[in-house]
Chains A and B, each alone.
Chain A
Amino acid sequence: MLVFTRKVDQGIIIGEGIEVKVLRVGRDGVRLGVTAAKDVPVHRLEIYEEIRRRNAAAATDAATLVSLVTRLKTSREE
């Protein structure tokens, strides 16, 4: 992992045109500003990871899917 020391109003640039700037340093956290092209998705890491875990738990393969849906239908109708 690359590690930088940055002060307020300083930042880093990632690749072509993704800028991350320190806007404020407070007792509860650091406020960051991200400037990137509209087609670059930017998300909070812990939320992304949470969704990644949920998606992995829900994922199945195409062959199992039909029996899964059948099971879901049955449990819903009970």
Chain B
Amino acid sequence: MSALDAGEAVVTFPDGLPGFETNREFLILAREDAEPFVIVQGLGPNAPSFAAINPLRVVGGYRAVLSGEDKARLLSDDTSELVWLAIVTAGAGDTPTVNLRAPLVINPRSLRGIQLMPAESDYSFEHPLQAA
């Protein structure tokens, strides 16, 4: 049982996120009243926050590939336990979209995370947000 299962954990992204490289710590909040969305709140001054969602809730059968380097950075050898979160973009007036191509991947044991940056992917950076 990890802190994430309890709905709240601080996760370290050792490389930060592209565009926010200096923000390494994010509070991940899986609150029941936010379901199915998860709050990814940057810690520290001017840190960015994001709304995210399990990509499986958007596209049934979602499956992305982790490289050996990705697994090493997550300190994970059991990929079945990893938590996947796709960042949601909701511009004013536009249909919200989900970044299925570059999801956040978190190891709930080590509480380390990365943003996946695949060179090739079948998934879109802006998949329309709709129920799977």
Contacts and interface: CB of A to CB of B under 8 A. Distances in A.
A54 B117 CA distance: 12
Contact of B117 (A51, A59, A71): A51
Contacts of A60: 48-51
Contacts, number: 96
B34 to A, nearest CB: 5
B99 interface: yes
Contacts of A56: 19
Contacts of A58: 50-51, 87-89, 99
B59 interface: no
B20 A59 contact: yes
B81 interface: no
Chain A interface mostly: helix
A38 B19 contact: no
A72 B48 contact: no
Interface in B1-49: 14-15, 17-20, 34, 36-37, 39, 41-42, 47-49
Nearest to B117: A43
A27 interface: no
